[in-house]
């Protein structure tokens, strides 16, 4: 498998399921934490991506996550969404996921991400 995108995104990823809030009009939008993480993710990922184009082939994604506490659920779904346009065109291309909870790092919560082409079958 050849690596097509790799990098470390600093900050604590939030759970996609818990990253929504209701509006007073009955709609649902991203929480402030999710919006802040998304903005930070895109800034960091753009620097990593530079002149790379998102791949269009099926991929394997490996994510190692360090949280600032033991409280958050291990949830990579927001990260997979945010990788669209950086590592791959659409998260439907992800055919295998390897997700690891690496521990607590209060000083530097982060996600180390590697995206590789999935071998032909």
**CATH numeric code, 3-117:** 3.30.1330.70
Q: Which tens digits make up the pLDDT trace of 78-95?
A: 999 999 999 999 999 999
pLDDT interval class at 44 (50, 70, 90): very high
Dihedral-angle region of residue 103 (phi above 0 means left; psi in -120 to 50 means alpha; beta otherwise): left
Mean pLDDT of the chain: 89
Q: Is the pLDDT reported for residue 28 higher than 60?
A: no
The pLDDT of residue 1: 76
Residue 63 has phi, psi (to 5 degrees) of: -130, 125
> Mean pLDDT throughout 52-59?
95
Query: What band does 35 get if pLDDT is binned at 50, 70 and 90?
Result: confident
Strands annotated E in the chain: 3-10, 20-22, 28-30, 59-67, 94-104, 110-117
pLDDT level of residue 109 (50, 70, 90 thresholds):
very high
* 121 pLDDT above the threshold of 70: no
């Amino acid at each position: 498998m050849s690596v097509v995108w790799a990098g470390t995104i600093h900050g604590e990823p939030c759970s996609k399921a818990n990253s929504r809030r209701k509006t007073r009009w009955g709609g649902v939008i991203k929480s402030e934490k999710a919006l802040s993480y998304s903005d930070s993710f895109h800034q960091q990922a753009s620097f990593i991506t530079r002149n790379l184009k998102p791949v269009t082939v099926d991929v394997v994604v490996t994510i190692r996550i360090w949280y600032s506490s033991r409280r958050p659920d291990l949830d990579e779904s927001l990260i997979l969404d945010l990788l669209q346009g950086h590592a791959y065109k659409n998260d439907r291309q992800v055919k295998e996921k390897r997700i690891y909870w690496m521990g607590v790092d209060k000083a530097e919560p982060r996600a180390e991400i590697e995206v590789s082409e999935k071998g032909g079958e």
